[in-house]
Structure 1
């Protein structure tokens, strides 16, 4: 996975050996997302998933890997609101930390995320641009392991698509 920063933006690129339509589906189908979303050792459950402009995605990632020590058993809740959808080229959404009821955690930053699917020779490149309110917030989230977690998640997606 290639990772770059540009001010308050984190940009990642990774190519998968599947068609644009197939990769778009893996990102936009609730059951498929549950199969691979989240870092290694974590399982995701979608409580609500409405893939349409204005639709809500409320999910919980839970650590099920005992070898991850203090993280084992931890839950991380998030809520997203889909903004734009242009199938199968791209979609955008606002992603926020939340609680089990879907209340936004105002102490944590929200992120505007654009996911693009670009056909390449032999596959499709997914380009994810995550925009934070400031470069400092991006740095804080990077220090919390966001880039490593996303890279792990992309490895899970690659393995899922290969099955």
Structure 2
């Protein structure tokens, strides 16, 4: 597997597992997920920015953010905002981050019409490189299909490409 390839598989019809190896130390890759100043550089698909990023990185803490499409070439998506809210359940630095991910509005109210995700991020040290394993568990196969149909896999691929670019720029 090349460094920038994502491998994906589905377990039990409702768990999407994504893996990718980054050519950066585990502590640095972990830091990218806990610091708003870093997240603003890479979170979201290509052409999207993070104009709002409030993060309280601790168990019970909340990360509330807005992704906004700034790329005019994306047609109907240009100017669109997508709000998200994560509630951290457990953090073991620099190994694991567990949180529930929700679609929300600008006030942080959860959108009950869209599926939430139980996310476990695992950061595995590979002698100076880091294997990132993202386990996203949904309430049902239908919920997983809903986010897949929304283009989530392409979005994560582009997001992790941007993470790799940011890591290369700062290391």
Shorter-chain TM-score: what band? over 0.9
Give the match for residue 151 of structure 1.
157
Does structure 1 residue 4 correspond to structure 2 residue 9? yes
CA shift for structure 1 position 94: 0.5
Report the 3-state secondary structure (helix = DSSP H, G, I; strand = E; otherwise coil) of the residue aligned with 1:107: coil
The number of residue pairs the alignment matches comes to 163
Equivalences for residues 88-103 of structure 1 within 5 A = 88-103=94-109
Q: Is the 8 A contact 1:13 1:126 kept in 2?
A: yes
Measure how far apart 1:122 and its partner are: 4.2
- How far apart, CA to CA, are the structure 2 residues paired with 1:154 and 1:47? 18
Deviation at 1:46, TM superposition (A): 3.6
Asked whether the 8 Å contact 1:83–1:94 carries over to 2, the reply is yes
SS of residue paired to 1:28: coil
Counterparts of 1:75-154 in structure 2 under 5 Å? 75-154=81-160
Counterpart secondary structure, 2:33:
helix
TM-score when normalising by structure 1: 0.97
The alpha carbon displacement at 1:67 in A equals 0.4
1:161 and 1:99 map into 2 onto residues whose CA distance is 30
Which residue does 1:162 correspond to in 2? 168
The gaps in structure 2 that reach 5 residues or longer are 1-5
Superposition map of 1:5-84 within 5 A: 5-6=10-11, 7-84=13-90
TM-score, normalization by structure 2: 0.93
What RMSD in Å do the two structures reach over aligned CA positions?
Answer: 0.9
